[in-house]
Structure 1
Amino acid sequence: MNKHDQLNTIKEDFINCQKVLLAIGDETRQSILLVLMGTDCQTGLRVGEITRQTHLSRPAVSHHLRILRDAGVILMRKEGTKNFYFIDIRTKLGLLKDLVKHIEELMQKFY
């Protein structure tokens, strides 16, 4: 693949990652992600549990969870009336890995 093709691939990667980058760029959402990553619970956390650990209001947590879900960064599992939020390796976070890989390949090959 030539440099022009690689740059086009990286451009497409950036476009595909825009929602993810915006979602994880916020400090509050980063703290929510850290809580989700740091839990021993494999089934996910409920809004109340996230609220307690982040010291954010319940509406704020719900708002940020919605943004993270819409961006494909986290997933939600429903059990009756309860919603459990979790990070899965198959989420859109994998797009970031591809973006970084393509940038590294370009930098190693041409610079």
Structure 2
Amino acid sequence: MDLKEFHETLKTFNTCCPLFIAFSDKYRQQLIFDIIEAGKEGINVTNLSAKSHLSRPAISHHLKVLKDSGIVTPKKVGTQIFYQVTLSDKFDTLRQLMNSILMMLDKIQEADGTKK
């Protein structure tokens, strides 16, 4: 296995860790879908809390995790903040990670003769 390739894949994996953390919580997963469902204009905390049994502070906490990981982007409109999903570039990084891992696994299988 190429050591440089291994380190690059590990670096990409570390870049994806905030995404894995953000995706790992069922409430954040639901918030992502609620924000997607809101469409291009996005949705504010008040409307998100109306769709959930979570408190506004809990929703704000989850939105901060999603924002810090780059999954959502806040957009200020007047005195309100609307959240929009911005995953496209993050999926490119995830795709790169998965492809790198699959190539590494293929090389291991080829080396030990188990590749079908």
Please give the TM-score of this superposition, normalised by the length of structure 2.
0.80
The alpha-carbon distance between structure 1 residues 49 and 94, as it changes in their structure 2 partners (threshold 3 A), is: farther
* 1:14-60 deviation per Cα after TM superposition (whole angstroms, max 9, x unaligned): 111122211221121111112122x1521111111111222211111
Listed as ranges, the matches of 1:1-111 within 5 Å are 3-37=2-36, 39-111=37-109
Give structure 1 stretches of 5+ with no counterpart: none
- Number of residue pairs matched by the alignment: 109
CA offset at residue 97 of structure 1? 2.2
Considering Cα pairs closer than 8 Å and 6+ residues apart, tell me whether 1 or 2 has the greater RCO. Answer: 1
Q: Which moved more, 1:90-99 or 1:15-24?
A: 90-99
Counterpart amino acid of residue 55 in structure 2: S
Give distance in 2, aligned partners of 1:8 and 1:74: 29
Q: 2: CA distance between counterparts of 1:93 and 1:67?
A: 17
Distance 2:10 2:43 in 1: 35
Distance 2:52 2:95 in 1: 27
| Percentage of pairs with the same residue | 28
State the 1:90 CA deviation: 4.2
In 1, Cα distance between the equivalents of 2:33 and 2:23?
11
* Letter paired with 1:63: H
Conserved in 1, the CA contact under 8 Å of 2:70 and 2:87? no
Partner residue, 2:113: none
SS in 1 for 2:74: strand
- Structure 2: tracts of 5 or more residues without a match: 110-116
> What one-letter code is carried by the residue in structure 1 that aligns with 2:26?
E
* CA-atom RMSD in angstroms: 1.9
Larger-gyration structure (1/2): 2
